Amino acid sequence: MERRAAVSRARLVLLVLLLLAGASRAAAEESLVLVVSADSPVTHLEIIDVRKLFLGLRVAAGGQPLRPLDNRSDERMHEAFLQNVLGMSGDAFERRLLSMTLREGVPRPAVYRNSAELLDAVAADRSAVSVAWLKDVQRDRRIRVLRVLWRD
Amino acid sequence: MRHAAGGLRRRCLLGAALIGALVGFGAPTHAADHEHGGDSDWLVFPSLIGRTHWDDNGPPPSPYNDWIKADLLYTHTSGSFRVLAESEISNQEAEIERLQFGWELNETTLLWLGRFHQPTSAWNTDHHHGQYLQTSITRPSIERWEDEGGILPQHVAGALLDSRGALTGNSGLVISVGAGAGPVVTSDGLDPVRVIHANHGGHRAAFSARVGFLPDLLGEDAFGLMYAHYDMPVVEASARAELNADTVTQQVIGAYANVFRSNWRLRSVLYHVDEGNESAAGTRRHRFDAGYAQLEYSAPASLTPYGRLESSSALAGTDFVLLQRDGVDVRRALLGLRWDFHRHQALTLEVAHAATAVTSYHEARLQWSGVLP
C-alpha cells in the first residue's frame, strides 16, 4: 500500500516537473518579429529591404519613404536583430550609421529604450517599421506583424 | 583657408548661428520620447591633436596646424526633401564646409544643390571632416583640403547627383556626378567658393564624376573609376607671376579599391593628373601620378594598427605644387596605432617620414577624437 502511494507521489512529482519544463521552454521560445502600424500600407518586406532600411538606404512603400525605429528596450532583442538580421556587431552598426549620416545626410533611426513608447510610435506612424518580441505585440490591435525575423 | 584672428570669432559665431538656425528649423514641436535620429539628426566630431617633427634638412612644412577642432553636422529630412550642413571650427578657421539641399528623385537617386565635396576623392567622400571616422590622424597628401595645401579641388558649389542601386544579385552600383563652380587660384593655393566669407569671384566650371561597383550593395567593398575636369583662373597678380599663367586647368582620372576581409581593411587610390598652365604665351603642360594604400587590422582589445604608403611621380616638378607654401608631400610612409575606448572615443598615435619637393622630415602625432552624442 505504502509502495503504491510512493509510486503515485513520484509520478505526480514527475508530472509537475514535466509541466514546469514545458512552460519554461514555451517562455524561452521567443520570436523576433517585424512590425508596422495596423494602418500601414506595407504588406511585405524582404529581409534585404529590412537590412537596407536599417542601414540608412531609402526603402519606400506606395511612394512613401519608410522610417526605421530602433527598438533597444531589450538588450537581448537588439543583439538578436544585429546578429541574425543585419549580420554585424553593435560597434559596426553604430559606425555604419554614423558614416551614412556624415556621408549622405541620412538621420540615424530614432532609438527607443521603452517598449510601450516604441509601440505607441509605431502605431501612430503609417511609415514606421520596427522590431519587437511577438509576445509583446500579438494582442495589440494597433500593431501588425509583417514577418518573423528570428526564433530563439 | 586660414584667417586673421580678428575675424575668426565673428566667423565662428556666424557658422554656429547658421547651423543653429537649421537645427531650429528642423526641431520637433513636441518633446521627443526617443534618442537622436528620426527626421533630424546632429553630430559633433571633436578632436585634439599634438604634433612634433624633426627635419632631415631645411625648414619643416606646416600643414595640419589645427590642434583643436570640431566638425558640426546637421541633417534633416522631410518627405523627399533633405538638408545637410557641415561646419568645421578650429583654432585656425571657421567655415561651412558643406551646405546641401537635396531632393530624392526616386528610391535610389538624390539631387543635391549647394556646396559639396566633389565625388572624385575616394577618401573625402567616405570621411568628409569627421576626424573620428577615419582610422588615421592624417589624410593622404593628395586628398588634403584646399586650405591644408591640397593641390586638387575638393569643394564645389553647384549640383550633385548621387545614385546607389542594385545591379545584379546582391551587388550594387554607385554613380556620383557633380558640376558647378570650382576654386580659383591665389597665392595661398586653391580657394573654393565660400559660404560665410567673401569670394574672389571669377569661379569657373568644375566637373567631377565617380562610378563604383559594390560586390555587396550593403557591404563596404568598393571598386571604382573617377574623372574630373577643373578650369581655375589665377586671380592674384603675385600668383600669376609665380605660375606665369592666367589659368590652371586640371584633368584628373583615377581608380580606387576598398577591400575589407575579416579583420583586414585596405584602401587604395591612384590618380593621374594632366595639368595645364595657360597664359598669353601659350600652355605649359605637366602630368603627374599620385596614389596611396592604407592597410588596417582590427586587433583584439579595440586596437587597430595601420600603415600607409603614399607615392607620386613627377609631382615635385609642377609649378602649382611649388606654389603651395605649406608644402606638399610627394612621398610619405607612416605607421599608427588606434585604440577605441569608452563609447565613440579613440586615441591614436602616428609616426611618419615624408618628403616634399624641397625637404624631408619625420613627425609624430597623438590625437584624441570622438563623436557626440
Domain edges within chain B: 5-370
CATH code for the domain defined by B5-370: 2.40.160.10
CB–CB contact B41 A117 (8 Å): no
Nearest CA distance, B258 vs chain A (angstrom): 15
| pLDDT of the residue at B132 | 93
C-alpha cell at B90: 578650429
The pTM of the full predicted model, rounded to 2 decimals, is: 0.82
Q: Would you say residue B102 has pLDDT above 90?
A: yes
- Closest approach of A81 to chain B, Cα-based (Å): 16
Percentage of the residues of chain B whose pLDDT score is greater than 70: 86
| pLDDT tens digit sequence for B238-253 | 888 888 889 999 999 9
pLDDT(B172) > 70: yes
Per the model's pLDDT, the better-predicted residue between B99 and A151 turns out to be B99
- How deeply is B111 buried, as exposed, middle or buried, from its count of CB atoms within 10 A (0-12, 13-18, 19+)? middle
**For B19-34, what is the mean pLDDT?**
46
> Is residue B13's pLDDT more than 90?
no
Exposed / middle / buried, residue B49 (Cβ in 10 Å: 0-12, 13-18, 19+):
buried
Q: What pLDDT band is residue B32 in, cutting at 50, 70 and 90?
A: very low
Smallest Cα–Cα separation from A105: which of B303, B117, B348, B215? B117
Examine the pLDDT at B4 and tell me if it is beyond 80.
no
Q: How many CB pairs below 8 A link A and B?
A: 88
How far is Cα B254 from Cα B118, in angstroms, rounded to an integer? 13
- For residue B73, the model assigns a pLDDT of 94
What pLDDT is attached to residue B22?
47
**Cα(B365)–Cα(B348) distance, rounded to whole angstroms?**
8
Question: Cα B284 from chain centroid?
Answer: 28
- Reading the block at residue A67, the C-alpha cell is 522610417
DSSP state of B315: -
Interface residues of A toward B, Cβ cutoff 8 Å, are 48, 51-52, 55, 57-60, 65, 67, 69-70, 91, 94-95, 98-99, 101-114, 117, 121
Would you say B144 and B123 are in contact if contact means Cβ atoms under 8 Å apart?
A: no
Alpha carbon dihedral B201, B204, B205, B210, in 10-degree steps, equals: -80
Strands (E), chain A: 31-37, 60-61, 64-65, 67-71, 110-112, 128-133, 143-151
Mean pLDDT, rounded, of chain A: 84
B218 vs A57: CB contact, 8 Å cut-off?
A: yes
- Work out whether strand B109-117 and strand B155-166 pair parallel, antiparallel, or are unpaired: antiparallel
What confidence score (pLDDT) does residue B213 get? 96
CB contact under 8 A, A104 and B100: no
The single-letter code of the amino acid at A99 is S
Reported confidence tier of residue B330, pLDDT bands at 50, 70, 90: confident
DSSP B195: S
What grid cell was written down for A44? Answer: 511585405
The pLDDT value recorded for residue B116 is 95
Q: CB of B60 within 8 A of CB of B149?
A: no
Q: Do B43 and A58 touch (CB under 8 A)?
A: no
CB-CB contact of B199 with B181 (8 Å)? no
- The predicted pLDDT at position A140 comes to 84
CB contact under 8 A, A105 and B126: no
Residue carrying the nine cell digits 597678380? B237
- Within 8 A of B125 by CB-CB distance, chain A residues are 103
Residue A96 has pLDDT above 50, yes or no: yes
Residue B281 has pLDDT above 90, yes or no: no
pLDDT per residue over A1-58, tens digit each?
Answer: 566 666 677 676 666 655 555 544 444 568 899 999 999 898 888 898 999 999 988 8
pLDDT of B364 higher than 90: yes
**Residue B11: per-residue pLDDT:** 53
Cβ-count burial B65-92 (b if 16+ within 10 Å, e if not): ebeebbbbbbbbbeebebbbbbbbbbeb
**In a mutagenesis test of the B interface, which of A45, A69, A89, A104 is the best target, namely the one with the most B β-carbons within 10 Å?**
A104
pLDDT of res. B45: 93
Once rounded to an integer, what is the mean pLDDT over residues A58-69?
A: 86
Report DSSP state, residue B234. Answer: B
Secondary structure string (H, E, C) spanning B154-215: CEEEEEEEEEEEECCCCCEEEEEEEEEECCEEECCEEECCCCCCCCCCCCCEEEEEEEEEEC
CA-to-CA separations, B236 to B155, B187, B323, in angstroms, rounded:
20, 7, 12
| CA–CA–CA angle B256, B278, B190 (5° rounding) | 55
**Residue A68 near residue A111 (C-beta atoms within 8 A):** no
The CATH architecture one would assign to domain A30-151 is 3-Layer(aba) Sandwich (3.40)
Chain B interface test: which of A102, A114, A117, A129 (most B C-beta within 10 Å):
A102
The closest CB to that of B104, out of A58, A99, A108, belongs to: A58
Contact B133 A113 (CB under 8 A): no
Query: Is B321 in a helix, a strand, or coil?
Result: helix
Mean pLDDT, residues B334-347 taken together:
93
Q: Cα A34 from chain centroid?
A: 6
Count CB atoms within 10 A of the CB of residue A11: 10
Residue A16 and residue A18: Cα distance in Å, rounded? 5
